[in-house]
Structure 1
């Protein structure tokens, strides 16, 4: 007999093998005469967006089911009752809401929530659920001039570029999770401009509080069914178990406006291809599937599909993540898991190759790093074990090749020390740079209507359940890693980018040595707002050592709405045009608002690669407090400063953890000071002399 259990309890490459047993959610003994067994509602928003139709359905159980009446009431987001109706026995009732306050994803509008309340008889049973009125579509259509199909979500007629992270179970012992912990994790996501979370199919169907919080914050949810990385058998007992599991969770969760996709599972088609199971995508006969070595296909393409189409027909269903095209990880159809960086190819790709490793929707990608050093020091009591190759740290690597893979990326990219703090920070720098190269490259391909070449960027992973060396953006105690700040900047509404290129010209067709190599940079920007934005693009070339500006240019450009805009190219100046000389310069970009306050909307510094070939020691970083007492100007002199990490000058971890930086992990060019502010959470006591900042930077 097969038992349905969270797959990750058997161990994964980010968490331990801890096989829990027994009930882990509360058990209730309830008595009733008549009660509501299901309160469901279907929301249809017309294309004009001026009318919403809410069809509320009631299922009852107990005595007098056929004769008892249920009062239905609908309240608007302010709590004002706007309509009511009555149902005799089990049935449905339709309500029409004119000029509704719609629910929008983060960054696109308000998260308005209506409340539907059902009361049986004279108060025999009462159930309330919140509803967001919104439409959602998964758009898969041809792209002119390209192979394959788009894969993007349209909410309330707005094409959405999905950017966010994957979610794993947030604790190895799930009863330890509280409402506050759920809210804290998801607030970090929202604060990081993440508009989508994928609930990964190797964990659990999350607690109601998770989805309630996503509704409130505007975080879209890609919801996997809990099947992952395996070949599931087919027999009657398991079929019935999976049906019951799916029905319960679809009924429980279908009212949440945050859920925009049901997905059959995680990587099982990849598993079938890797292990050469009997899987023929062209065979559409389920009777053949259940007799093959890959019978689990029946669950994804029949059982779960039918369940979602019956119970939640307005929410799209996707067979798997990844899925689509000629093979499961086809970059031209569906979504892909982009793992050629870190784990797939030998030799593995450098992270600088991410622009070649994109797809229509990149639902997994990432780079591992150590937790924050304060987390390590708090959990590793023996000072002798506080070094990167200790037996304790080996136990924090959950996959057998992690140490070697991480060492390879460090050797390829950075000069670094060997003590635990220097080594751990170096791994976080590599993770941050990898996140930058990937998320920018993917977003650049969101090119506007008819050119949605990439529509999603979900980094693996947001959270940790254990103090592991992992891909998480925040470690197990919710301390943000350096990559968190990079993703936050790259997920902002407006960003600007540059990509260094080299052109080779041979003197003649026979030579392999007499080659002229000249450098230039591709320039682009992305505007996810729904209005065009007029900006001045400020272009500078700055010497790494000394920080001298050798070229400046300003271009007036318009960023079209909800897409990236190519901004042309710029040649490296004069004597720096040769590719060798160009490696001594950075490309420094700013987008400045053309009218109004002329504030800087986005900036970016593009560095020659790999970083280990370059000397950053001439840069001196300064931190100057401003008059408001919670802001600082941070800048550099003498050279370009790379990977500037700010922290609070304190030995009190609780104070440090309570201080939230407006930005961190900075690249600083002389003359372009950054203003950093602090928000202090909680009831921590601020030192009498106020707060002071300290910094570390790569050199």
Structure 2
């Protein structure tokens, strides 16, 4: 008989474990859930996402909680065979003791595990299920104390109690998120009845180098009575392409060889189709399990070259520049993230021309809904194992839990073609460096000896996890850490990946210096910005606190030294206005400028085959877990900051770039006039297209004061080389307007100088493919008066924007209800900017730009 499943989602109650009366039990919204959400639904706490309310709910972290459900005994299946009833927990957060009718049936101490318990012999007609969740924070402190004699628990960002606990590490707070220690059945709970069932079906297959064949094995795992025949099949668009019947062995494993000629392959978006086959295992009429899988040849290319050792991805023979983002959990309360919300996030990746998402090691092994979206949309995924910013222990029970965690999640996720790399952790080798922990990469190759050092987690990252990956997903790429490169210092820019935090953190380099800060693969970098005003006014609802630097604004930003760092970047580059609207805009333009400088200069280093100096750039970060100001380029409510659009423009399949010579302007005795005197610039085109293409590139020099075109400098047809960077001009010297004003032998007269932008336009035929504008730096030295910005409606959803003089950082206020084709852009005279806008009436828009006469203005449509 067919398997039946009953979700246990309704009728739950919960209470604090030290409650004693019937009145202490409160209704649960629905399972999956977490305790903060249920307390909030019962009006027992204020919303932790608002004002200072996070502080008022921290007591929850040190309490134990009980969840209870009652259910009737399921109707027995109509069969003469023995029926098994399982209770399945897809995720318990985190120290959980489960009792059924008073009998203890499960103890779990790992949030990342799922559990299946045979309860056939324990069922009554009426059943009571209770789950007690112990405080993860208190248990973590106990574990630190218990194991302190054998391990030193070094930790960054949070208190040390998180390190021995297998729970989402960001729950202890991070420099972008609150301290919200969750507990509860955070993933679904359900009953299953069956005689026999398919536990899993999967493949271990490799696409040949010439892409003409796919060979390997198909497996199915069977549970339950008897050794019944299993039918394994593969189909494409409803048409069978392969089928085989086989028997499971004594361990329930069925296996068959697979060989497909000329398979249809899965590609990242923009490189080909996202073809997926349906893989199915069937047990007669008892059960069937199917999943969509994709075949692709995925390689991480690490070859010695003139720059050191490369680090880039090759998918189905195509070198792919992995421009994209890092991902943190999309909510502080994971149980409320819907599949639709995951899909909306992933659609933004495609909209932003971002090909890779890196799932960070301090969150969770993400939900299948995220990977289903990535598979469908063609997004490459880099997934960290869940370790971050600490020196983790290796005592036996801990390693056993880690191994089970790794195997379970690899088995759950190995069929997703979007996942192309697993990394052992996030920044744990930086912890090793900071605290001078033992690490002899070249000299000590004995994994057992690593367990006896002050850095025993090397055993986990360089022995245990790669071994498990090889066994569970043999053609998957494994990388020991992010960042990491052949055991060299994590800042080594010649090998592996780097986290480039000398912008914002560290040396606080100016964003104009990004061209000096690249690596073989930049897997983290970032710049903070405020979210849009609607989000600010939602998260801080006290009007008297809605100003930069207020108590609530400071509390909301969790980054260390956030205000001094943010104001330094704003003040170095812009004339500072400190009202909320103006300062919000300035922080957003700083972030967008950082993204523009970084992505275009590092993508320029994509170079050519055999000389890929930089293989990818992943901004920290795409998203937020609560409404806040952070490094996110899209906020908690999926409202895009201008930085999102800057990245999208820099990552177009064909993009033109301009760079002026960088000169410091505030370092000691530096000459702040040099950016005005120096007229050199570089011009290039970078392409991800598989074929060379003819493009028309035009360069104009335009007066910032008057809007006059000072020089039609270039108008040439260029061949943009296939999947390469095409250098057009290098250190090219121009003289615009009066050449005497560029004469370094003459005294510099700022009043007479006419500063200009260098504006490049790339076209194919009459279609504008890409533009870039280079401004003299810093922008605060320039006057942006009298820009004369005009708006004209071309249709109810199409707006033409123009200006008489160059405009920097025009930003329309977004609320999340509307969709813009571009935002936060520059304007130059003679070039109309066409913006497609959906979800709002054009006359309802408000906007601002650098130097605007007031914080924001309403759009006035001309006839």
TM-score norm. by structure 2 comes to: 0.75
Q: 5+ residue gaps in structure 1?
A: 505-511, 649-655, 681-685
Q: Is 2:514 the counterpart of 1:376? A: no
Question: Is the 8 Å Cα contact of residues 334 and 361 (structure 1) preserved in structure 2?
Answer: yes
Residue in structure 1 matched with residue 207 of structure 2 by the alignment: 45
Compare 122-131 and 449-458 and name the one that shifted more. Answer: 122-131
2:573 is equivalent to residue 413 of structure 1: yes
Alignment match, 1:13: 175
> Is 1:108 matched with 2:271?
yes
Q: Is residue 635 of structure 1 aligned with residue 802 of structure 2?
A: yes
1:562 matches 2:562:
no
- Per-residue CA deviation, residues 102-129 of structure 1 (Å, 9 max, x unaligned), is 1100111111111001111x22121111
Aligned length: 665
CA distance in 2, matches of 1:410, 1:578: 31
CA contact (8 A) 2:559 2:630 kept: no
Q: By how many angstroms is 1:50 displaced? A: 2.3
Contact 1:503 1:518 in 2 (8 A): no
Counterparts of 1:224-263 in structure 2 under 5 Å? 224-263=384-423
1:85 CA displacement: 1.0
Query: Higher Cα Rg: structure 1 or 2?
Result: 2
Specify the alignment match of 2:147 in structure 1. none
Conserved in 1, the CA contact under 8 Å of 2:812 and 2:823?
yes
Deviation at 1:503, TM superposition (A): 10
Q: CA deviation at 1:578?
A: 4.7
Q: Give distance in 1, aligned partners of 2:194 and 2:350.
A: 41
CA gap of 1:207–1:578, structure 2 versus 1, over 3 A, is farther
**CA positional deviation for 1:371:** 1.4
Name the SS of the counterpart of 1:15 in structure 2.
coil
CA–CA distance in 1 between the matches of 2:672 and 2:176? 47
The residue matched to 1:698 in structure 2 has which SS?
coil
Is 1:587 the equivalent of 2:754?
no
Q: For residues 178 and 102 of structure 1, what CA distance do their matches in structure 2 show?
A: 29
Alignment partner of 1:645 out of 782, 792, 811: 811
1:129 aligns with 2:295: no
Residues 201, 279 of structure 2: 8 Å contact kept: no
What's the CA shift string for 1:82-109, capped at 9, x where partnerless? 2211121123112333322211001111
Aligned CA distance change for structure 1 residues 193 and 86 (closer, same or farther; 3 Å) = same
Q: Aligned partners of 2:219, 2:343: CA distance in 1, in Å?
A: 30
Name which of 816, 819, 830 aligns with 1:657. 816
Deviation readout 1:493-552 (Å, 9 max, x if unpaired): 111111112799xxxxxxx99999642111111011111111121011111111111111
Q: Larger deviation: 89-98 or 7-16?
A: 89-98
Separation in structure 1 between the aligned mates of residue 611 and residue 728 of structure 2, nearest angstrom: 17
Q: Is the 8 A contact 2:512 2:662 kept in 1?
A: no
Task: After superposition, give the CA deviation of every residue in 1:222-279 in whole Å (9 maximum; x if it has no partner).
Answer: 0100001000111100110000000000011001000000110000001110111122
2:301 corresponding residue in structure 1: 139
Give CA deviations for 1:583-639 in whole Å, capped at 9, x if unaligned.
71111001122xxx431111111011111111111311111111x3321211111x2
State which drifts further: 203-212 or 616-625: 616-625
Q: Is residue 315 from structure 1 mapped to residue 476 from structure 2 by the alignment?
A: yes
- Cα contact 2:655–2:771 (8 A) shared by 1: yes
- Counterpart check, 1:337 vs 2:499: yes
Q: What does residue range 210-609 of structure 1 map to in structure 2 within 5 Å?
A: 210-282=370-442, 283-325=444-486, 326-345=488-507, 348-501=508-661, 518-552=678-712, 553-569=714-730, 570-574=732-736, 575=739, 577-578=742-743, 584-593=755-764, 597-609=765-777
Q: Alpha-carbon deviation of 1:692?
A: 5.1
SS at match of 1:461: coil
8 Å CA contact 2:205–2:214 kept in 1: the answer is: yes
Distance 1:3 1:141 in 2: 38
Runs of 4 or more off by more than 3 Å in structure 1? Answer: 512-518, 576-583, 690-694
How far has the Cα of 1:352 moved from its partner?
0.8
Rounded Cα–Cα distance in structure 2 between residues aligned with 1:24 and 1:692: 41
- Given that 1:270 and 1:329 are in contact with CA atoms closer than 8 Å, whether structure 2 keeps it comes out as no
For residues 667 and 20 of structure 1, the distance between their equivalents in structure 2, rounded to whole angstroms, comes to 44
Which deviations, in whole Å up to 9, do the C-alpha atoms of 1:113-170 show, x marking residues without a partner? 11001111x2212111111111101110011x32x20001110011110011000000
Matching residue of 1:683: none
Shift of 1:3: 2.6
Deviation of 1:693 (Å): 4.0
Contact preservation (8 Å) 2:359, 2:381: yes
Cα distance per residue 1:370-427 (max 9 Å; x no partner): 1111111123221101011111111111133111111111111111321111111111
Describe how 1:619-698 pairs up with structure 2 within 5 A: 619-626=787-794, 628-637=795-804, 639-647=805-813, 656-680=815-839, 693-698=845-850
C-alpha separation in 1, matches of 2:798 and 2:845: 10
Query: RMSD across aligned C-alpha pairs, in angstroms?
Result: 2.1
Which sits farther off after the overlay, 558-567 or 411-420?
Answer: 411-420
- Which ranges in structure 2 are unaligned for 5 or more consecutive residues? 1-142, 144-163, 665-670, 852-863
- Does the 8 A contact of 2:524 with 2:618 survive in 1? yes
Cα distance in 2 between the residues matched to 1:134 and 1:643: 41
Q: Secondary structure at the match of 2:722?
A: coil
SS in 1 for 2:591: helix
Q: Which residue of 1 aligns with 2:244?
A: 85
TM-score by length of 1: 0.92
Match of 1:72 among 232, 236, 254: 232
Per-residue deviation, 1:28: 2.5
Rounded to whole Å, the distance in 1 between the matches of 2:402 and 2:542 is 46
Q: Which digits, 9 at most, give the CA deviation of each residue in 1:452-511, with x for residues without a partner?
A: 00010100100101112100011111110110110111111111111112799xxxxxxx
Give, in whole Å, the separation in 2 of the partners of 1:10 and 1:34: 42
Query: CA 1:517 to 1:473, structure 2 compared with 1: closer, same or farther past 3 Å?
Result: closer
For the residue of structure 2 that corresponds to 1:95, the secondary structure is: strand
1:24 aligns with 2:195: no
